[in-house]
């Protein structure tokens, strides 16, 4: 498959250092009013059970910007996932089966949004970006917020890094600025 063919399904519209770097105003200008957000290594670290500092504030800023929110995760640990979603005050779909289109459609249904008004934020090309593109969504890839992850994900990361390097080199996406070391959000 050519680079353009790969890009059609795997190149995100934006590549950012973290969800905290998302510009809600720019998304609003695009007509986006719904955010489907991955959980593990996007919002919280893999196996983390309590939201980190600043996550509640970020979720509130998204809501204040008029964004509906839904967490979409392939994680199978329903108790952990629902507990986190409850503490964040948002909808959640666990055991989603990303990159299938159905879970993205179900998340949009819960938020009352459509493909043209929904963005997906996640840390993986093969689940979040591919699933979002298949569902016709605006896709935002973020760097994983932890190095601790499922073994299968670590193996896929090797391929993802190679693909991202090609997309950046071809000017299809811009490499994000490094994550702030002081714990600030932008």
Predicted TM-score (pTM) of this structure? 0.90
Residues 6+ apart with CB under 8 A from 100: 131, 134
Q: Determine, yes or no, domain membership for 64.
A: yes
Does some domain include residue 183? Answer: no
The contacts of residue 161 (CB under 8 Å, 6+ apart) are none
In our burial notation (b when 16+ CB lie closer than 10 A, e otherwise), range 113-125 reads: beeebbbbbbbbb
Q: Residue 92 in 3-state DSSP?
A: strand
Per-residue pLDDT at 147? 76
In a domain, 49, yes or no: yes
- Residue whose entry in the numeric block shows the structure tokens 């510009």: 23
Say if 111 falls within a structural domain: yes
In a domain, 147, yes or no: yes
How many structural domains comprise the chain? 1
Give the domain extent around 115. 14-169
Residues of the chain with pLDDT below 50 are 181-186
The verdict on residue 5 lying in a domain is: no
In a domain? residue 184: no
The answer to whether position 98 is within a domain reads yes
Assign residue 102 the CATH number of its domain: 3.40.50.1000
């Amino acid at each position: 498959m050519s680079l353009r063919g790969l890009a059609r399904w795997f190149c995100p519209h934006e590549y950012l250092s973290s969800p905290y770097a998302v510009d809600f105003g720019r998304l609003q200008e695009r007509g986006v009013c719904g955010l489907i957000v991955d959980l593990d290594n996007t919002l919280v670290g893999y196996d983390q059970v309590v939201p980190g500092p600043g996550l509640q504030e970020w979720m509130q800023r998204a809501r204040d910007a008029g964004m509906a929110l839904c967490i979409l995760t392939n994680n199978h640990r329903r108790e952990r996932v629902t507990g986190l979603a409850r503490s964040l005050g948002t909808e959640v779909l666990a055991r989603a089966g990303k990159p299938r289109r159905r879970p993205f459609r179900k998340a949009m249904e819960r938020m009352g949004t459509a493909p043209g008004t929904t963005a997906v934020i996640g840390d993986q090309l093969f689940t979040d970006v591919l699933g979002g593109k298949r569902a016709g969504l605006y896709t935002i890839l973020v760097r994983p917020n932890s190095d601790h992850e499922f073994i299968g994900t670590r193996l896929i990361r090797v391929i993802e890094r190679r693909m991202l390097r090609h997309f950046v080199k071809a000017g299809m996406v811009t490499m994000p600025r490094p994550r702030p070391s002081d714990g600030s959000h932008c």
